[in-house]
Structures are given as C-alpha cells and as structure tokens.
Amino acid sequence: MGETLGLLAGGLAQAFEPVNFSMIIIGCVLGLLVGAMPGLGSVNGVAILLPITFLVPPTAAIIFLAAIYYGAMYGGAISSITLGIPGASTAVATVFDGRPLAQAGKADKALTAAAMASFIGGTISVVLFTLFAPPLAEFALKFGPAEEFALMLLAFATFIGLGGDDIPKTVFSILIGLVLATIGLDIISGQPRLIFFDVSGFLHGINFLVLAIGIYGIGEMLWTLEQTKGEVTVHNVKLSMKEIIKDIRDVKEYIGTTSLSSVLGYFVGTLPAAGATPASLMSYGLAKTFSKEPETFGKGNVSGVAAPEAANNAASTGSMLPMITLGIPGSPTTAILLGGMIIWGLRPGPLLFTEHPEFVWGLIGSLYVANLATLIINLMFIPVFVKILTLPFTILAPTIYILCVVGGYAPTQTMHDVWLMFLFGVVGYLLRKLNYPVAPAVLAIVLGPLAERSLRQSLLSSQGDPMIFLERPISLVCVLIAIALVLVPVFQKMG
Amino acid sequence: MTVRTAEFLMAIVLSLCSIALMMKSAELNIGWIEGRGPGAGAWPFWLATGMLLCCLLTLWRWFRRVTPESRNTSLYMTHQTMVIVGTSAGAILFLLAATHWIGLYASLVFFLLFYLKYVGRHTWLLTIALTIGIPVFIFCLFEWALKIPLPKAITEPLFYPIYELMYS
C-alpha cells in the first residue's frame, strides 16, 4: 500500500509539471465546450483532438485527453441544466431534475450541485482506483452476459415501480425505448431490422441523442410554451460569491446520494462495454429508490442532479481500469484512448503497471488534478452559465431549436435523424400531456443494445434456458432486487 | 377534444403501432435458431407484445376511470395552446424543410428573422445582429473548428471562397 501511495504521489507531482498542468487546463476548457454542445460528447472531443497529442510525450498526451474526458463530463451538465438539452449521453439523466431546477430559478444550485458531485465522484473513484484496481479488474471479469442483463433489469426496475407514475404507461415508455434501440442492423446476425418503408436512414439505427434531444429540447420547449401561455418568466438571477458559497455548503443535502452514486458509477464504469452513460442513468434510479421524497424526482430534486453527475465522473475513472489492466475499453472514449496508447507504443495490460508505472500513475494523478481544475473553472463560471437563463425567451427558444437541429445532425450527419428528432419532440410533448413518462424511454434506448446483446448471449450459452439468470449468484441477487423494486410499490398501491 | 377522449385515442393509436411493430418484427425469425439463439425478430417482437399489453391495460383503466386523465373532461388542447405551440412547431418544420432546399445557413436566417422579429418583436438592430451572428458562430464551431460539414444544398457554391480560405 505504501508503494502504491508513493506512486500516486509521484503521479500527482507529474500532473503539476508545467507542460502537463497546461495540458490539463486546456483539456478541461476544451472538454467543457465540446461537452456543452448538444450532439457532441467526450468521444467527439477526444477523437477530434487525438492527432494533436502526437506533438507531445505520451504521458502529456494521455493527460490532455483525460482532461478533455473530464471536462466534457461536466460540460454536458451545463447545457442539460441551462438549456434542457443533454450536451452528451452521460448528461441525459441530469436533465430530469436539472432543467426543472433552472426553471424554478435555481440554476445556480443545480450547477453547483453538479460541480460538487462531479468532484466528489472523481475523488471517490480515484481513491477506489488506487486501493482496489487489481481485485476489481478481476471481479469485473466475472460479469458475464447473464450478470449484465440482470443489471439492466435492475436499472429498468428502478424506473418502473417508483415515483408515482402510471405503471402501465411507464412500462410502455421503457418498452418503446427498447424497441427503438433495435431499429437498424441486428447486432448478432447483421440482418436489417424494422426498416420502415425501406427508408435507408433507419439502417444505421436511432441514436439515443436523437430521442433525447427531441424529447428534452423540442418537446420540453413546446411544453414550457404551453404551461406559460407563451409568457415565460425570465429569471433575472443576480449571483454573488456569497450565494455560491451557500450553494457549496448545501452539499450536505446530497452527500449521501453522491457517495453511493460514486461507488456505483465507478463499479459500472469498470464493467467492459458499460461506461458512464448507463452508470449515470442507474445512479439516478438508485437515488430515487433511496430518497425519502421519490415523488419530487423529475420535478427539481437536487439529488437528481448530483447522483448522475457523481456517477458519470466516477465511471470515467472506472472505465480506465479495464482499459489499463486488461486492454478492454469500458466506453467509446476509452476505446479511442486505447487506440492512442497503442500508437504511442504502450501495450495496455497487467504489465503496464510494472513496465510503465510513470504513465499509469501520471494518468491517475492527472485525472484527479483535472477533477479539481474542472471544479474551480466551473464554480468560477456559474454566474456566466446562469446568465444564459436571463436571456428573453424569444431569443433563448430559437437558439435552443437551432442547437437541437445541429445537435441532431452532427452525430450521423443525416437530415433523416433531424426529422426523427422533430417527430420525437412533438410526439413526446403529446404523450407528456397524457402523463406518459418520457424519461424511461430515454433510459431504455441507451441501455437497449447492451440489454439485448447480453440477453441473447445468455440464452445462447444456456441453450434457451432462462434459469441461467437465477443460477448465477450475482445475477440472482440483481433479479431478486429488481422484482422487489417492482412489486413493493404495486402492493403498496393495492394496500 | 377532451383529455378523456385524447387518452382513449392515444391508447388506440399506440395499440395499432404496437401491432404494426409486431408484424414488422415477425417478418424476421422470431423463434429459436439452432446454434445462433433467438432470431433477429424475437426481441423486438416480444417487446412490441409488451407494448400492446400495456396499451390494453391503459384502455381497461380508461374504461374504469382509474387514471386522472380518464376522468378529465377539460380540453386536451385549447385554441390558444394550438396557436402558441403551432407557431413554434411550424417554424421548426419550415427550418427543416427549407434546409433540404436552400441549406441550413440560409434557412437559419429566415427562421431567426421570423422568430426574433415576428414572434419576439425585438429591434431591427438586435434581430439583424443575431440573424448574422448565430449562423456565423455555428459555422465557425462546426465547420471550422470541429470539421463537421452542415447541409448547404443549393447554397454550397457560396461557401467555396470560405473553404479556400479555410483549407489553403
């Protein structure tokens, strides 16, 4: 342990070297900007800026990319809270409560909670990484398809039974999200699936951002217009440092949820092929499950902002674990980082810890410094972000619509997706008027491909026997908890 | 149309969509394929079946007036709502349709002019500043910094001089 701490201290010292520290600051700022743009996430930032890293030594390069990764994690929260459009997939869950808080004139509280929770998530994950990297890497490998599917069931269950929503409508919302995720080429046989009217645009599937931006960008704006009869109140918030300090002190309100979400986020991040998006969505569900006021979630509960933000930051550190120790990327962004490492001549795997400790611990140290830098940058800029909300609605609304259109276009660069986004926005608005919850559909379309693949692989390995989910201890526990989460509220309502 | 009627009609429309999804999924194999596991259509087929069951349950609850929406006899959408929401939705619809014809940037100019001047009643100075500023910002960020080309349709030749400046 002493040796590990020594290496971590060395990594931290390395992160403060002038070149590396400048890389951290530039990376954080660029990440914030990329993450805040709808349709672009850390994966875009890392991919676009990867060639730049060949100009600096490998350690500085990975530090730069890791800082972009961290910055983007928080950047997504800025547009989620201020504009109601998830800047990145990892910030989808942040919209659920972040936007209602902003509409209630508490954007500063939501932004501070996001910054603080991200920092706590990052801190806890670095501690977990330092203490338990090798055993956790081994444990994560025990997660086969059956365990993965059971974990997905657990995530859906947290959305079904809680919050007082109409249960058949909630289940419908989850199922339609899962069906939308199946459109395109079948993940196993490669056959075209659900290609309506032979429209070729469906062949590449439906990106979850198309649904998320449609529902939370277009749909939300239409909903706001209806609720306010077109006369939206402008929140002319005048923020002083004193108020921000008060917001920081409010961390005690959500520290418990944040810590729990950080641990969950870190663990989900370590699972190969999972990553920060499922982690943030699952943490939101978990926060709702353990909350004393689950009915306030989705209406502006600050824990609903803190939980996903802590989890996505923790998961971004967690996803480094399988990448470094096993050479398996935990997310699309780490897949690009892995590619970079190979180009720089580093071979990921267990030997990396012994052959290139300066690289591994430099990365971990810089993750932590990037975390701190992002916190400071964010807290400094909160008054600027909040200022966005003081714009007249007739300027803010067309800006949001334009960002939705551009954000819907950017990932696949087809107008087909932009039309779909518009359709989802209008349909989402009409469904919302009839109390159909829309958040579960977004959760489902994100987790859908992972859930289907793990279900089919499990059934294939068991020759079609569904008992596989009950025979393996980890999946059995997850399935039992999922059943309890669904049944308990049903019986409570019947009682 | 009342909220109660809208609840009923929506459940019917969603039931029909679910049946269409089931039929579309059934065009693929929805059974077990030896050595390959469940067919490509099995997962969406059973999900769509679940959707249909949820719709039927909603209809049953509507019939029994269990949900607040099934008891609500106020208007689903007032005339005022239709005007307010319709203006925004119509403007976006125009933006998307015009993008196919005159490209995104030119469409943005018309969209912003309409929204800022007609809906927002802002001054000409602010309207023109934003109508030029927002498309320029979008161009600089997406095309120049991020190298993501946005659709330009027939206005593409107008951008050739800018491309020359950018890539020379």
| Cβ of residue B80 closer than 8 Å to a chain A Cβ | yes
**Do residue B22 and residue B56 come from a single domain?**
yes
> pLDDT band at B151, cuts 50/70/90?
very high
pLDDT tens-digit profile of B98-136?
999 999 999 999 999 999 998 888 999 999 999 999 999
Q: Is the pLDDT score of A9 beyond 90?
A: no
- Looking at B18, B48, B71, the residue that finishes a domain is B71
**Maximum CA extent, chain B:** 71
Amino acid, single-letter form, for residue A241: M
Alpha helices in A206-330 (DSSP H): 208-213, 220-228, 241-249, 255-270, 276-290, 303-318, 320-325
Cβ partners under 8 Å of residue B161, min gap 6? none
**Do residue B57 and residue B133 come from a single domain?**
no
- List all residues of chain A from 334 to 373 with a beta carbon under 8 Å from chain B: none
Does A397 sit within 8 Å of B115, measured CB to CB? yes
| Cβ of residue A191 closer than 8 Å to a chain B Cβ | yes
Q: How far apart are CA A95 and CA A82, in angstroms?
A: 9
Does B100 sit within 8 Å of A415, measured CB to CB? yes
CA angle A317-A320-A322, nearest 5°? 130
Residues of chain B contacting residue A406, judged by C-beta atoms under 8 Å apart: 104, 138, 142, 150
Q: Is the pLDDT score of A300 beyond 50?
A: yes
Contact A459, B38 (CB under 8 A): yes
Q: How far apart are CA A216 and CA A85, in angstroms?
A: 6
Contact B159, B166 (CB under 8 A): no
Give the gap in angstroms from C-alpha B52 to the nearest C-alpha of chain A. Answer: 8
- Looking at B31, B53, B71, the residue that finishes a domain is B71
Q: Which of A291, A300, A306 is nearest to A258 (CA)?
A: A306
Q: Which tokens is A396 given? A: 């803010």
Q: How far apart are CA B18 and CA A173, in angstroms?
A: 12
Does A169 sit within 8 Å of B58, measured CB to CB? yes
pLDDT of residue A163: 45
Sign of CA dihedral A195, A199, A204, A205: negative
- Looking at B54, B71, B88, the residue that finishes a domain is B71
Q: How far apart are CA A322 and CA A116, in angstroms?
A: 26
Domain count, chain A: 1
Q: Which of A408, A435, A459 is nearest to A201 (CA)?
A: A408
Characterize A11-41 residue by residue with b for buried, 16 or more Cβ atoms within 10 angstroms of its Cβ, and e for exposed. Answer: bbebbeeeebbebbbbbbbbbbbbbbbbbbb
Least confident of A79-88, A260-269, A398-407, A479-488: A79-88
Q: How far apart are CA A352 and CA A22, in angstroms?
A: 25
| Cβ of residue B125 closer than 8 Å to a chain A Cβ | no
| Cβ of residue A390 closer than 8 Å to a chain B Cβ | no
| Cβ of residue A391 closer than 8 Å to a chain B Cβ | no
Does A398 sit within 8 Å of B10, measured CB to CB? no
Residues of chain A contacting residue B69, judged by C-beta atoms under 8 Å apart: 434-435
Nearest CA in chain A to B10: A431
> Given the DSSP bridges, would you call strands A184-185 and A192-193 parallel, antiparallel or unpaired?
antiparallel
Give the gap in angstroms from C-alpha A485 to the nearest C-alpha of chain B. Answer: 19
Q: Which of B119, B97, B93 is nearest to A396 (CA)?
A: B119
| Cβ of residue A51 closer than 8 Å to a chain B Cβ | no
Q: Which of A66, A83, A51, A75 is nearest to A20 (CA)?
A: A66
| Cβ of residue A231 closer than 8 Å to a chain B Cβ | no
Contact A302, A253 (CB under 8 A): yes
Domain of B126 in residue numbering reads as 79-167
In this structure, what DSSP letter does residue B75 have? B
Residues of chain B contacting residue A44, judged by C-beta atoms under 8 Å apart: 146
Residues of chain B contacting residue A457, judged by C-beta atoms under 8 Å apart: 37
Amino acid, single-letter form, for residue A340: G
**Do residue B93 and residue B57 come from a single domain?**
no
**Do residue B61 and residue B85 come from a single domain?**
no
3-state secondary structure A365-427: HHHHHHHHHHHHHHHHHHHHHHHHCCCCHHHHHHHHHHHHHHHHHCCCCCHHHHHHHHHHHHH
Q: Which of B38, B120, B146 sits opposite A395 (nearest CB)?
A: B120
Interface mutation target, options B54, B61, B83, B144, chain A, most CBs of A under 10 Å: B54
Contact A38, A325 (CB under 8 A): no
| Cβ of residue B28 closer than 8 Å to a chain A Cβ | yes
**Do residue B159 and residue B86 come from a single domain?**
yes
**Do residue B60 and residue B83 come from a single domain?**
no
Q: How far apart are CA B90 and CA B95, in angstroms?
A: 9
Give the gap in angstroms from C-alpha A176 to the nearest C-alpha of chain B. Answer: 7
| Cβ of residue A213 closer than 8 Å to a chain B Cβ | no
| Cβ of residue B14 closer than 8 Å to a chain A Cβ | yes
- List all residues of chain A from 456 to 495 with a beta carbon under 8 Å from chain B: 456-457, 459-460, 464
> pLDDT band at A330, cuts 50/70/90?
low
Q: How far apart are CA B111 and CA B109, in angstroms?
A: 6
**Do residue B63 and residue B10 come from a single domain?**
yes
**Cα A255 to chain center, whole Å?**
19
Q: Which of A139, A148, A155 is nearest to A459 (CA)?
A: A148
ipTM, two decimals, is 0.94
Q: Is the pLDDT score of B37 beyond 90?
A: no
CB atoms within 10 A of CB A292: 6
> pLDDT band at B12, cuts 50/70/90?
very high
Does B112 sit within 8 Å of A409, measured CB to CB? no
Nearest CA in chain B to A227: B81
Q: Which tokens is A372 given? A: 């701190």
Domain of A294 in residue numbering reads as 2-494
Domain count, chain B: 2
> pLDDT band at A230, cuts 50/70/90?
low
Q: How far apart are CA A284 and CA A98, in angstroms?
A: 12
| Cβ of residue A196 closer than 8 Å to a chain B Cβ | yes
Task: Give A140 or B8, the one with higher predicted confidence.
Answer: B8
Q: Is the pLDDT score of A323 beyond 80?
A: no
Residues of chain A contacting residue B146, judged by C-beta atoms under 8 Å apart: 40, 44, 48
Give the gap in angstroms from C-alpha B69 to the nearest C-alpha of chain A. Answer: 7
Q: What 3-state DSSP class applies to A470?
A: helix
**Do residue B67 and residue B94 come from a single domain?**
no
Give the gap in angstroms from C-alpha A194 to the nearest C-alpha of chain B. Answer: 6
Contact B49, B22 (CB under 8 A): yes
**Do residue B86 and residue B59 come from a single domain?**
no
Does B28 sit within 8 Å of A193, measured CB to CB? yes
Contact A297, A97 (CB under 8 A): yes
Q: How far apart are CA A192 and CA A231, in angstroms?
A: 46
Does B41 sit within 8 Å of A178, measured CB to CB? no
Instruction: Using the structure block, give the residue that is written with the tokens 């909903």.
Output: A223
Portion of chain B with pLDDT greater than 70, in percent: 100
Instruction: Using the structure block, give the residue that is written with the tokens 């809906």.
Output: B119
> pLDDT band at A464, cuts 50/70/90?
confident
**Do residue B90 and residue B61 come from a single domain?**
no
Contact A407, A213 (CB under 8 A): yes
User: CB-hemisphere CA count at 13 Å for A150?
Assistant: 23
Nearest CA in chain B to A426: B89
Nearest CA in chain A to B31: A464
Amino acid, single-letter form, for residue A379: L
**Residue A454 phi, psi (nearest 5):** -70, -35
Mean pLDDT value across residues A434-441: 85
Does A171 sit within 8 Å of B50, measured CB to CB? yes
Q: How far apart are CA A188 and CA A456, in angstroms?
A: 9
Contact A384, A31 (CB under 8 A): no
Task: Give A45 or B152, the one with higher predicted confidence.
Answer: B152
CA angle A481-A484-A485, nearest 5°? 85
Contact A421, A213 (CB under 8 A): yes
Contact A313, A118 (CB under 8 A): yes
pLDDT of residue A331: 65
Q: What 3-state DSSP class applies to A84?
A: coil
| Cβ of residue A141 closer than 8 Å to a chain B Cβ | no
Nearest CA in chain B to A413: B150
| Cβ of residue A230 closer than 8 Å to a chain B Cβ | yes
Is this structure's pTM higher than 0.80?
Answer: no
Cβ partners under 8 Å of residue A413, min gap 6? B148, B149
> pLDDT band at A2, cuts 50/70/90?
low
Q: How far apart are CA A3 and CA A61, in angstroms?
A: 25
Nearest CA in chain B to A180: B44
CB atoms within 10 A of CB B153: 16
Q: Is the pLDDT score of A259 beyond 80?
A: yes
Rg (CA), chain B: 25
Portion of chain B with pLDDT greater than 90, in percent: 68
Q: How far apart are CA A20 and CA B63, in angstroms?
A: 66
Interface mutation target, options A49, A176, A221, chain B, most CBs of B under 10 Å: A176
